[in-house]
Structure 1
Amino acid sequence: MATKQELGVLAGARESVLGLFRWRTRVVVIDELGNESVEWQAPEWPANPFKLLGMLTANNWLYYSVGFLGWTFDAYDFHALSIQTTKLALYFNVSKSDVTTAITLTLLLRSVGAIIFGIAGDYWGRKWPFVVNMICLGLLQVGSIYAPTFNTFLAVRALFGIFMGGVFGGASSMALENVPVEARGLLSGVFQQGYSFGYVIAACANLGVGGATSSWPTMFWIGAGGSFAVGIARIFFPESRQFIEAKKNGGKGGHTGAFMKEAGVVVKQEWRRIIYAVILMALFNFFSHTTQDSYTTFMKVGKALDNAAASRASILMKTGACVGGTIIGYLSQSIGRRRAIFIAALMTAVLIPAWILPNTESGLEAGGFMLQFFVQGAWGVIPVHLQELSPPAFRASFPGITYQLGNAISSPSAQIVNELAEKVFTVMGPKGRRVEAYGPVMGVATAIIAVFIAVWIAVGPEKKGSRFEQASAAGAGPDLGHPEPLHKEPDHLVKTDSLEKDAHSDAPATLTRDASRH
């Protein structure tokens, strides 16, 4: 027989699924006293995107742009390796599968960096942890160039992964807490596409340096320069205003004991939400790495494209990602975060044949463009979705840690694809050649993951409209050593399995503070 606790979780999942198919969307609203509640509102026609962008001040743009560029070069630094798998295999005289071990190590250790720099960002602020992070990222990119052996290269890339992992939480919190609520969906989509933009820059650089094996260090030098530039630029403007005000609102400044006590309360009250977000991010990272990390290799090996053609196809593929992430992130402000992800995941599954079956460069470009439109379209919702689900005072650590723990779980994805493809052969290509089965392996894996994402997002929570920027900084508020919620819920909210839900809600409410302390 199911326990009361289990029934609560099942009831919450059922309400979430039903809510996904309702015309109205779940929106968090705040009354004049600052108390959060939820309402079901009819979707509004999407606002004029240029009007939304016009709401940003010069300072908003400054913080957002640096966060975006930090995330862009974090992605470039990663793709500078994955897009040159063949070159590095030849340079170090190892297999392509061996090279993907470096990708696995990088992804595996990013969660360590997310924990270190996420906590630092919530405790000390957005500025200096971000500066240190980006400069160390550049130094380790240089270290990768001078690795004398493949084992040394693997060791440097493992250490590199720690600093890569610290970027997302700090960059996304700095970028999105400094923009108007109404513009978050659009700017979340644009922000996430810093990842795709980093790939586009890497593909363009790879096209520019040519296919010679000796050209790979140039790609790494470009990444190092970009990381240094972003870190140094961040030095010249102040701490995020929202973080400074959050510290003032708490009344007594951040203290290590109070910070750790509050973190313990959050974990105790929100552990289900944390587990949900980690699994969601694991699925999403399988989603992106399975569809991109080996795609250049697939075009060269399976479709007999040369380096230039494969690079051009990669550029157009990720251009589709940038467009899709922006558009679907923008639409999520109207149709809801979960609904946008659900539709994008199912559309990805539908487009798999168009992605792997064409034999011409133009066909692969068109299929890749459309598939990545929806893969990264779903991803475009993630930054704001994680920020809204996050306990408000932990907006640097919660998104970064859950994102990178998911990355750690998905870390073998490229290696799994490569090893399976190298052991299984298929007839493919314009002349019916017998080749390594990159296409079928990637297609089957992507279909399975897309369906899993659709199911998981259907049963999950949503907090669109959350005013997370109004929260006090962690450790700056009153004593949080008690397990009860930190504010009194409105009467129409009922408690189910320790997760606050309204009678019609599709999601648990997150930890908040009474606005009288703001």
Structure 2
Amino acid sequence: MTAAPGRPPSTFRQLSGGQKKAFFAAWLGYLLDGFDFILITLVLTEIADDFGLDLTTAATLISAAFVSRWLGGLALGAVGDRFGRKPAMILAILAFSVGSALCGFAWDYWSLFAFRALVGLGMAGEYSSSATYVMESWPKRMRNRATGFLLSAYPIGTVLAALSYEVIVPGLGWRWLFYAGLVPIALCLYLRRALPEAEEWKKEVGGRTDVTTSSALFSPERRLSNLLLTAAVSTALVLLFSNSAGGWAWLCSLVALAGFVLFAVQLAGRMWPVMIAIMATVFCAFLYSWPVQSLLPTYLKADLGFDEAAVSTALTWAGLGYAAGCCLAGIAADRIGTRPTYVLGLLISLCFVFPVFALDASSILLLWVLLFAMQATSQGISGLLPKYIGDHFPVRMRAAGLGFTYNVGALGGAVAPLAGAGIAESIGGLGQALTVLAATLTIAVALIIGLNIPVRIGHALGIRPDDVPALATPEKGTR
């Protein structure tokens, strides 16, 4: 079935062969991204035992990948804006694949921290390049589905990782789980040969060099200052999230925050307050979702006493719920709007957070069902984030704008496991800590998106550019 002549496609079946190929290639890349990224959470207790780490220190290894994500989103996003979405996607897959394989060779805490940072660099670039590639290859009326269906790949990757954990780790040990990270490199060869470039990028940017984010970031007069700024921000984040800052944590936080603002000003000009508001939104979103995603395996093993098979089953249910939620959110948002769907999903998720962490180990079947429902509504709704964020940027800066804002906000994921472990120590239980974080921050994100705070800031500043959907058409584009 194809769309009628002159009418854009409105269903997946009506898409052209090239549009379907673009989607499936990006979907597979993002699936492998999810597989590689989640591995550290599955073997956190094994690594802690091997390297002699306590839970709080081991949790910083989850945070390590988030330390570098802002740079991956910025640099690979700029590559995507300048040279096209496809080459940026290939570079991203290479980065997280090599980084994951190197984790298997780690000899101590700091080597593993560094290799995880390389994984984060690639994952950030994969998120922005894949999302913009699919969105700009699909019709505008289907872009919520484009990102929702795309992000469903990530939890499928986590399910495959959980199944691999059950098969590999008991017999071969945790290192062999990371060696599997080399598999995605084969995908790069296919992507390089078989994929077309995104149509919208070719039409509006193409080979132009004067309108992209790379011209702002890498111009001769800014190269040295931006390199120094990158080094300062990166050093501050490593000290912060490895728990090495000591009494200088406040200064490291200020350095990182100031650096992010300076980069936002360069990228977005007068729109930089809008960019900062989106970062804050994503930061809160990670604070409600990532404590559960990163520490759920530890909670199941340490608090409920589950073995590898039971943990794998739980993560499979949670991952399938996440995937189903992404797809359903995309379908719903193309009908009733991005923001209403997002807020509705968050509010529904609150009905499942408390029961999940109130159950004991004897209620296994009910726990699986509730995990599926909770992840479908809380994590699954994040399938709309690329569309929501992307609507705030024009094509010429969409990859870097999306990559930078999302991945700076994703530092909430670096804070999340530390916050979860810290709160657990103070209130006496990891389940209670995860409940508190998930519930309070879900409400915060629902309020920010429901009240349309970033667009309100843009309008207060008098910004209404025609090439930015969210700001140009507030009645429709910001739904």
TM-score (normalised: structure 2): 0.80
Residue 260 of structure 1: aligned partner: 215
1:253 partner letter: R
* Contact kept? 2:286, 2:413, Cα under 8 Å: yes
Structure 2 counterparts to residues 405-416 of structure 1, below 5 A: 405-416=408-419
Structure 2 counterparts to residues 122-141 of structure 1, below 5 A: 122-141=81-100
Deviations 1:439-468 (A, max 9, x none): 1100011110111011111121699xxxxx
C-alpha displacement of 1:510: 7.7
Residue 233 of structure 1: aligned partner: 190
Distance 1:373 1:253 in 2: 41
Residue 450 of structure 1: aligned partner: 442
Residue 236 of structure 2: aligned partner: none
Distance 2:460 2:95 in 1: 45
* Contact kept? 1:389, 1:510, Cα under 8 Å: no
Distance 2:186 2:289 in 1: 27
Structure 2 counterparts to residues 94-493 of structure 1, below 5 A: 94-211=53-170, 214-226=172-184, 228-237=185-194, 238-247=196-205, 253-255=208-210, 260=215, 267-359=268-360, 360-425=363-428, 437-460=429-452
1:243 partner letter: W
Structure with bigger RCO (C-alpha 8 Å, 6+ apart): 1
Distance 1:510 1:108 in 2: 35
CA distance 1:90–1:420, shift in 2 (3 Å): same
* Contact kept? 2:31, 2:157, Cα under 8 Å: yes
* Contact kept? 1:341, 1:377, Cα under 8 Å: no
Q: Describe the SS at the equivalent of 2:414.
A: coil
2:332 partner letter: L
Residue 515 of structure 1: aligned partner: none
* Contact kept? 1:193, 1:376, Cα under 8 Å: no
C-alpha displacement of 1:390: 1.9
Provide the identity percentage.
21
Deviations 1:329-363 (A, max 9, x none): 21011111111111111112221122112222212
Distance 2:420 2:21 in 1: 40
* Contact kept? 1:185, 1:384, Cα under 8 Å: yes
* Contact kept? 2:95, 2:121, Cα under 8 Å: no
Residue 464 of structure 2: aligned partner: 500
Deviations 1:167-208 (A, max 9, x none): 111111111111122322222211122221221111111122
Distance 2:64 2:470 in 1: 35
Q: 2:46 matched to 1:87?
A: yes
**Equivalent residue pairs, number:** 413
Distance 2:216 2:26 in 1: 29
* Contact kept? 2:156, 2:323, Cα under 8 Å: yes
Deviations 1:204-251 (A, max 9, x none): 111222445x5212221222212x122222111343343333345xxx
Gaps of 5+ in 2: 1-8, 218-263, 475-479
CA distance 1:119–1:204, shift in 2 (3 Å): same
Q: Describe the SS at the equivalent of 2:173.
A: helix
Distance 1:458 1:401 in 2: 23
Distance 2:59 2:453 in 1: 34
1:179 partner letter: W
CA distance 1:377–1:135, shift in 2 (3 Å): closer
CA distance 1:275–1:369, shift in 2 (3 Å): same
Distance 1:310 1:413 in 2: 21
1:221 partner letter: Y
Q: Describe the SS at the equivalent of 1:293.
A: helix
Distance 1:171 1:79 in 2: 18
CA distance 1:265–1:142, shift in 2 (3 Å): closer
2:204 partner letter: A
Distance 1:286 1:278 in 2: 12
Larger helix percent: 2
Distance 1:152 1:264 in 2: 34
Deviations 1:413-438 (A, max 9, x none): 1122123324543xxxxxxxxxxx11
CA distance 1:496–1:286, shift in 2 (3 Å): closer
Larger strand percent: 1
Residue 260 of structure 2: aligned partner: none
Residue 46 of structure 1: aligned partner: none
1:370 partner letter: A
CA distance 1:239–1:186, shift in 2 (3 Å): closer
CA distance 1:255–1:496, shift in 2 (3 Å): closer
* Contact kept? 2:76, 2:400, Cα under 8 Å: yes
Gaps of 5+ in 1: 1-49, 426-436, 464-493, 512-518
* Contact kept? 2:102, 2:178, Cα under 8 Å: no
Q: Describe the SS at the equivalent of 1:499.
A: coil
Deviates more, 1:445-454 or 1:152-161: 152-161
CA distance 1:161–1:421, shift in 2 (3 Å): same
